[in-house]
Amino acid sequence: MVDHAGGLFDAREQQQHDVTAQLQAGPRQAAAHVHAVGERCPVPGKWTLATIRASVVGLDSYTLSGVWRVLQRLGVNLRSAVVQLFSPDPEYAFKKQRLEQALRAAARLPGQVVALFLDEFGFYRWPAPARDWGLTATRATRAGTNQQWRTVGTLNAVTGQVDYLDGYIVGRKQLITFYHQLDQTYRQAERVYVIQDNWNIHSHPEVLAALVEHPRLQPIWLPTYAPWLNPIEKLWRWLRQDVLKLHRCVTDWEHVRQMVRDFLDQFHRGSQQLLRYVGLLGDGQLASVIQKA
């Protein structure tokens, strides 16, 4: 009996291996003809139950619901694709190492050394659509002119403190003003690392000249196209999800802007919950750097 059960388990494991190997390889020519209208049709980029049935050996006689049951039994489910992250920056390794050094210094000497992730964020008066509960689809109301507002902000990598400056535009003048604000906010620190991306405003001559006037502020340049190394991006995502999607204040533009300020103000004194949400606490890559400092 034990051998029989073990044999069934081995057979299921082998079937799971065979099926997943075919799925990972992607659809082939056999799948191209399933939904084809004419004689010539390209191979589809993703699987459907019908193309799986046509491509996987032994499933050709199954109904589509039968194919679904087989896949469920094997632990194969419909999942969202994962984007492969890639930065083309030839100095990626060096810049990442510099970032990690700044995080370690801030973790070892809290208050004395500060590491801030800086980024800009823009949002519109009109609410963004999103999934919502209801008997019918919720309406993302459109009224008046769809205006935009912008924010430049920083996230303290160790405390979770958020500071920001908002306005109709965020350009070099506003960024210079914000650098001065950071210099005052962290006036007790000996060194403030400002970790930022490669937006051209950040390296504008006037902006760089202003940084010289605040020698305690030291820019740390992130690799090109590497948002996964700037966790404040996840703060913006939280803001969009909780405040801006499907908001009911389209007729009161000032109130929309104030809701955004209220959301950011709750992190003014720091937040462990925010650090955990953005990946600076826990077992993430950047969190590990800080914890092992």
For 8-28, what is each residue's pLDDT tens digit?
556 778 888 888 888 888 887
Q: Which residues pair with 123 in a beta bridge?
A: 149
23/136 same-domain check: no
163/265 same-domain check: yes
Which H or E run contains 105? helix 92-108
Q: What distances in angstroms separate CA 109 from CA 115, 158, 291, one per listed residue? A: 11, 10, 13
145/52 same-domain check: no
266/124 same-domain check: yes
257/158 same-domain check: yes
Domain assignment of residue 54, given as a range: 12-73
Q: What total number of domains does the chain contain?
A: 2
| pLDDT above 80 for 37 | no
139/220 same-domain check: yes
pLDDT average, residue stretch 108-119: 97
68/99 same-domain check: no
pLDDT tens digit sequence for 162-193: 999 999 999 999 999 999 999 999 999 999 99
Residue 87 resides in a domain: no
- Among 69, 38, 39, CA closest to 52: 69
62/149 same-domain check: no
69/97 same-domain check: no
Neighbour tally for 23: CB within 10 Å: 15
Is-contact 198 220, C-beta < 8 A? no
283/149 same-domain check: yes
Rounded to the nearest 5°, which phi and psi values hold at 81?
A: -70, 155
Is-contact 172 201, C-beta < 8 A? yes
148/44 same-domain check: no
| pTM, 2 dp | 0.83
- Among 50, 67, 49, CA closest to 58: 67
